[in-house]
Amino acid sequence: GRRSSSVIDEATVARLLRAATAARLRAYAPYSGFSVGAALLGASGRVFVGANVENSSYGLALCAERSALVHAIVRGERRFRAVAVIADSDGPCTPCGACRHVLSEFGGDVAVICANVNGQLRIRELRELLPDRNDTLRRGASS
Ligand code: THU
C-alpha cells in the first residue's frame, strides 16, 4: 500500500476542526453528556461530518468517527486523508479502539487530528494509533 506521510496543512486542519465543531452541536448524548464531533476528509476533497448518537441501551452508542465514516461510505467515498475529532475532553480527544479499527478498514494513511474545545491539538497517523492492523483479513479494500 501507499506509504506517503499524509502531512496535513494548517488550513485543512482548521477546515476540519470547524466542521467537526459544528457537527458536535448535533450530538445526541443525553446519557454521558459527552458530545463529540468528527469530520472526515475524503480523497475527493469532500468532508463528511459525524456526531455521537447514544441510546437508552448504553452499549449501543455510536461514536462520532463511525458516524462520519458511514456518511462518507454512503456517498461513495472510500479513501481518506484525515479525520478530526473534537470534544470537551481533558486533553485532545482520541478515537476509541473500535473506531481506529473501523477507520483502518479503508487504509492507515490517515492523519488523525485530535482536539478539544480548549484548543489543545495532537496529530497522529492512523497506522500509529492502530499498528499491525489486520490487512490480511481484508478482501477488496486497498490502501
Ligand atoms: N465517543 C465518541 O463519539 N468518540 C470518541 O472518540 C470518544 C467517545 C462518544 C461515545 C459516547 O457517546 C460518549 O462519547 C462517551 O464515551
Q: Which three cell numbers stand for residue 36?
A: 463529540
- Give 8-52 as a DSSP string: --HHHHHHHHHHHHHHHTT-B-TTT---EEEEEEETTS-EEEEE-
Place of cell 445526541: 28
For the CA of 61, the nearest atom of ligand 1: 12
H-type alpha helices, 62-107: 64-74, 97-104
Residues with a known catalytic role? 65
pTM exceeding 0.85? yes
Say whether 72 sits in a helix, a strand or coil: helix
Mutate to test the pocket of ligand 1, among 52, 55, 88 (most ligand atoms within 8 A of CB): 52
Residue by residue, pLDDT tens for the chain (143 residues) are 344 445 799 999 999 999 999 999 999 999 999 999 999 999 999 999 999 999 999 999 999 999 999 999 999 999 999 999 999 999 999 999 999 999 999 999 999 999 999 999 999 999 999 998 766 555 665 55
